[in-house]
Amino acid sequence: MNTEIIKIIEGSLNNDKQKVISYAKVLANNLEQEGEVLVARKIRKMIGDKDIHPVYLDDLLSKPVDKESRMDILDVEVPSGNFQSLIFSYNLTKEIDQFIAMAKNKEKLYSFGIESPHSLLLYGVPGGGKTSIAKYISEKMELPLVTARLDSLISSLLGSTAKNIRRIFEFSSKQPCILFLDEFDAIAKARDDKHELGELKRVVNTLLQNIDEFNNNNILIAATNHPDLLDSAIWRRFSTVIEVPVPAENEINELIKRFLGNMMYDFQDNTKLFNNIQALLEGCSPADIKNICINCMKKTIINDKQQIEYQDLIYEIYLFKYHNISELESVVKFMNDNGVAQMKIHKAINLSLRQIRNILKK
């Protein structure tokens, strides 16, 4: 409860009524859970609040906008309670859960004199699941996810970009939430980059100052596909740094099963074919695997087929890898090399058996 009391005092000193009310609600909930029902009731009576749900959507409605374009500079997503579990390695999942546990037990850590910031930097390949991790943490913490919109945050007037950064941090500090900065390298580039203007370097300085102030009692998550572009001072601002790698073998299999959902597929019980698909998808991100599976499902449905057939998924993998449907020889050889019989190649790409045999004879 120390955090809530500090936030209420900060809001009072800064004449920030929204901040005082938001954190007073959280304090009332915490007191009630500890048996201090009468005190909690008195706090709610003072702030005129009858809704005791831990997520306060009414406090998140007045979102800041870029003054030049009038576009929202952030999005707010409230936990839905039905988020699926993550499909990651044991070690990665453990690190994420440990971060959540530390954020949930901040009062216990304070009692031992530990006042470490609760901030997480995620880096890895595009589509690797960094945004899903941020949403997962939001669900587990039962806190709204406030996501900065970089398309409107970065203004054509560079001075406005620094102001937008301040607006996002000020807004997020007014109520309990998780601030998520996706594509973080766009505003956190190294200040020694010779291709950047001096004003952009001042934007990074503004970012660093706001992170330092925000990190004291709030949860910050940032994600980047290009960790090599980040300013060296950025790394020190995060208490936890996690690399999100491409899926391992067993994770690929689980992702295929999840993304194909309730749809039937003829290789369901065929370990050899399943392993072959998994081998072809090695190095792909979860987003890549999802797109391949969904495209295959859509074609199966519109062609009135009862189930996904092995050759259909192999063909989709070929399209993802090579994006070329005019090279018939390449398609036929790829499918044949991956265990698709000539008749099934014929069914998949509507090429005559004679043409398929001639291609394979060469």
Pair 242, 120: CB distance under 8 Å: yes
Q: Which CATH number fits domain 57-244: 3.30.70.20, 3.40.50.300, 1.10.390.10, 3.40.50.1360?
A: 3.40.50.300
Query: Would the pLDDT of 52 be above 70?
Result: no
Answer whether residue 53 shows pLDDT above 60. no
- The answer on pLDDT for 51 being more than 50 is no
The rounded percent of the chain whose pLDDT value lies above 90 is: 48
Contact status, residue 59 vs residue 22, Cβ threshold 8 Å: yes
Give the pLDDT score at 262. Answer: 87
- Residue 218 C-beta-side C-alpha neighbours within 13 Å: 27
Work out the widest C-alpha separation in the chain, in whole angstroms. 85
Confidence band of 63 (pLDDT split at 50, 70, 90): confident
Domain boundaries, the chain: 1-50, 57-244, 249-361
Residue range 275-292: average pLDDT? 95
- Judged against a pLDDT cut of 50, whether residue 186 lies above it is answered with yes
Residue 222: pLDDT band (50, 70, 90) is: very high
pLDDT in tens, 269-283: 899 999 999 999 999
pLDDT of residue 50: 44
**Separation CA 79–CA 235 (nearest Å):** 28
| Backbone dihedral angles phi then psi of residue 67, each to the nearest 5 degrees | -70, -20
pLDDT band at 190 (very low <50, low <70, confident <90, very high): low
pLDDT tier at 129, thresholds 50, 70, 90:
very high
d(CA 305, CA 91): 40
pLDDT reading at 328 higher than 50: yes
**Model confidence over 139-177: pLDDT tens digits?**
999 889 999 987 777 776 667 888 889 999 999 988 888
pLDDT tens for each residue of 77-121: 888 777 778 899 999 999 999 999 998 888 788 778 887 778 999
Report the sign of the C-alpha dihedral through residues 77, 82, 87, 91, in that order: positive
pLDDT at 59: 54
Per-residue model confidence (pLDDT) at position 40: 75
Q: Residue range 202-208: average pLDDT? A: 88
| Percent with pLDDT over 70 in the chain | 90
| 12-26, 53-67, 246-260: least confidently modelled range | 53-67
Quote the pTM value: 0.80
Looking at the predicted structure, is the pLDDT value of residue 320 above 80?
A: yes
63-67, 90-94, 109-113, 195-199: lowest mean pLDDT where? 195-199
Letter for the amino acid at 45?
K
Instruction: Give CA–CA dist 305/300, Å, rounded.
Output: 5
